[in-house]
Amino acid sequence: MMIFERGDVVFVLFPNSDLRTAKKRPVIIIQSDHLATGLQQHVVAMISSNLDRANHASRVLVHLDTTEGKNSGLLTNSVIMTDNIATIRDGELDRKLGKIKNMIRIDEALYHTLGL
């Protein structure tokens, strides 16, 4: 079993908001590495290649021409959507694509999304 950490960009079958359909897409793991709930799952945020979804305080644009973008493993400029979060069972996390090491902008977006 692979070990996934906060900031890892992972490919997964992500549920649509109707909870009946899903789509394979990249996500970023946003939970603490030491959450230790005893549950075999991770809290993730959806990543979209639809750049029209950017320009919102709950979303982070990732450009491939930056160090962050190059290390992410993403294939196109993308938007991390902290306003679209899911809890995914570990067995459903397909493969690691890359990692975003600097989570400051994502944390700021999460603060906005969650009202912290």
Query: Under a CB-based contact definition with an 8 Å cutoff, are residues 56 and 7 in contact?
Result: no
- Number of C-alpha atoms within 13 angstroms, CB side, residue 94? 12
- With H, G, I as helix, E, B as strand and everything else as coil, classify residue 71: helix
The 3-state DSSP composition of the chain as helix, strand, coil percent (nearest 5) reads: 20, 40, 40
Average pLDDT over residues 77-96: 93
Report the alpha-carbon distance of residue 32 to residue 82 in Å, rounded: 15
- pLDDT at position 1, please? 63
Task: Report all structural domains of the chain as residue ranges with CATH numbers, in order of start.
Answer: 8-114 (2.30.30.110)
Place of tokens 């290390």: 71
- Residue 56, pLDDT score: 95
Q: Is the pLDDT of residue 59 over 80?
A: yes
Q: Which residue has the higher pLDDT, 20 or 44?
A: 44
